[in-house]
């Protein structure tokens, strides 16, 4: 059987036949379930199979199908599962409320972030024909599907609202304060009009525009490849965050809705697996192709993609990760300092994993 490699945009966006939809407390979320109760991601009538088919072409050529491996960006999440559970068991819900709000806010950037990417024509950028590749379908449904998955489409809620529902159900509808939308580690994309504000050292679009291949690659093309690699790294890092959240919020001792939380996080992770797969595929295809230079020559795709991947991985690990953990610890410390039993909880907290020094400046630093 030959696998199909070309699809219309409507096919990429087409919904599968659901037996039931994903609803909770009167709210419609994307995706649904088959007759056996198995989750079916949104826009998945053809999308996952198409990505698998394009990926199999790369593998058949003996080329790598991943441009960034999980092991390159995987970090131990802070607070640890044990630390987070201790906080929730002790009734200290502020840090968890902040983290879940932050995840939701970041997911909510999806539609605006994807729409901010330039509209490019692969025929002008690649020497080889790209009609039967993942790259050839980025502007034919794949980007639109991705943005919709993250931030919703019409009345149907996406990942942002799914995380808020998980937060509210499992933490008993905690109070959400405006400062929870400030000092984000990722800057809102152009076009975003919500309440989120970035931290001074946040990742922002301007960091995407410092070119590694000036005078060689069309700047819009390099920005797009860098942005896709950046999104891929965020998606890969999110896997461990989501597994952590599932572990913590699926525990009935610290969650008011353990089954709902675990089930909803499973749905989100199934959707995210599609994002990781198409981003890896499009970048791996680019890596094995020949790119047109602005001067009329060519550049091997592997030179470009390997350099971009190194740069993006370096930017996302190391100091940035440690800064985020110190900032989180500052918030945890501040919440516990207001409590009579805060010192005892902090002592026990240290028994469940490493404790970073907390941030010495910034709005959420301890007094």
Residues at the site binding Fe ion, with contacts judged by CB under 5 A:
107, 150, 159, 235, 272, 275
Say how many C-beta atoms besides its own lie within 10 A of residue 343's C-beta: 11
CB 95 within 8 A of CB 342: no
The minimum distance between CB 231 and Fe ion, in angstroms, equals: 8
Alpha carbons within 13 A on the beta-carbon side of 151: 17
What is the spatial distance between Cα 241 and Cα 76, in angstroms, rounded to a whole number? 9
SS3 142: helix
Return the number of the residue (232 or 355) whose C-beta is nearest Fe ion.
232
Return the number of the residue (159 or 246) whose C-beta is nearest Fe ion.
159
The minimum distance between CB 321 and Fe ion, in angstroms, equals: 19
Return the number of the residue (235 or 359) whose C-beta is nearest Fe ion.
235
* β pairing state of 27-33 and 39-40: antiparallel
What is the spatial distance between Cα 361 and Cα 356, in angstroms, rounded to a whole number? 15
**Burial (CB count <10 Å: 0-12, 13-18, 19+), residue 288:** middle
Alpha carbons within 13 A on the beta-carbon side of 48: 13
Return the number of the residue (106 or 302) whose C-beta is nearest Fe ion.
106
The minimum distance between CB 159 and Fe ion, in angstroms, equals: 4
CA distances from 353 to 83, 88, 218, 240 (A): 7, 16, 47, 16
What residues does 29 pair with on adjacent strands?
Answer: 22, 157
Return the number of the residue (66 or 272) whose C-beta is nearest Fe ion.
272
> Two tokens at 230?
């950046």
What is the spatial distance between Cα 70 and Cα 194, in angstroms, rounded to a whole number? 31
**Nearest Cα to 163, choosing from 89, 15, 191, 171?**
171
**Nearest Cα to 329, choosing from 95, 86, 98?**
95
The minimum distance between CB 100 and Fe ion, in angstroms, equals: 13
Q: Could you identify the residue written with the tokens 């199979």?
A: 49
Return the number of the residue (159 or 333) whose C-beta is nearest Fe ion.
159
DSSP state, residue 45: S
The minimum distance between CB 107 and Fe ion, in angstroms, equals: 5
The minimum distance between CB 148 and Fe ion, in angstroms, equals: 11
The minimum distance between CB 103 and Fe ion, in angstroms, equals: 9
**Burial (CB count <10 Å: 0-12, 13-18, 19+), residue 24:** middle
> Two tokens at 350?
């240290």
Return the number of the residue (43 or 85) whose C-beta is nearest Fe ion.
43
The minimum distance between CB 41 and Fe ion, in angstroms, equals: 11
Return the number of the residue (107 or 222) whose C-beta is nearest Fe ion.
107
The minimum distance between CB 144 and Fe ion, in angstroms, equals: 14
Return the number of the residue (159 or 289) whose C-beta is nearest Fe ion.
159
The minimum distance between CB 355 and Fe ion, in angstroms, equals: 29
> Two tokens at 291?
């790119």
What is the spatial distance between Cα 43 and Cα 12, in angstroms, rounded to a whole number? 7
């Amino acid at each position: 059987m030959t696998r199909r490699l070309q699809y219309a945009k409507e096919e990429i966006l087409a919904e599968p036949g659901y037996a039931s939809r994903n609803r909770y407390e009167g709210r419609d979320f994307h995706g649904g379930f088959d007759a056996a109760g198995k989750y079916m991601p949104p826009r998945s009538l053809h999308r996952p199979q198409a990505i698998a088919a394009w990926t199999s072409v790369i593998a058949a050529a003996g080329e790598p199908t991943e441009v960034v491996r999980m092991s390159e960006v995987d970090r131990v999440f802070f607070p640890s599962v044990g630390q987070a559970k201790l906080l929730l068991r002790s009734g200290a819900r502020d840090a968890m409320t902040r983290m879940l709000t932050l995840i939701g806010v970041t997911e909510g950037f999806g539609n605006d972030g994807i729409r901010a990417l330039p509209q490019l024509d692969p025929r002008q950028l690649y020497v080889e024909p790209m009609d039967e590749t993942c790259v050839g379908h980025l502007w034919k449904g794949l980007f639109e599907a991705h943005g919709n998955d993250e931030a919703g489409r019409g009345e149907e809620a996406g990942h942002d609202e799914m995380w808020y529902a998980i937060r509210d159900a499992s933490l008993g509808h905690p109070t959400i304060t405006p400062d929870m939308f400030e000092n984000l580690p990722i800057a809102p994309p152009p076009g975003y009009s919500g309440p989120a504000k970035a931290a001074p050292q946040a990742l922002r679009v301007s960091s995407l525009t410092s070119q590694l291949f000036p005078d060689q690659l069309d700047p819009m093309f390099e920005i797009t490849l860098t942005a896709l690699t950046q999104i891929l790294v965020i998606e890969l890092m999110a896997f461990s965050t989501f597994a952590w959240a599932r572990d913590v919020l699926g525990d009935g001792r610290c969650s008011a809705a353990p089954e709902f939380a675990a089930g909803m996080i499973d749905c989100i992770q199934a959707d995210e697996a599609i994002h990781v797969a198409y981003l890896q595929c499009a970048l791996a295809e680019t890596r094995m192709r020949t790119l047109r230079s602005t001067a009329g020559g060519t550049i091997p795709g592997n030179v470009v993609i390997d350099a971009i991947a190194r740069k993006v991985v370096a930017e996302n690990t190391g100091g940035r990760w440690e800064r985020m953990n110190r900032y989180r610890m500052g918030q945890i410390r501040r919440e516990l300092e207001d409590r009579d039993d805060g010192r005892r909880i902090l002592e026990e907290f240290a028994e469940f994993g490493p404790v970073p020094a907390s941030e010495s400046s910034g709005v959420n630093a301890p007094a």
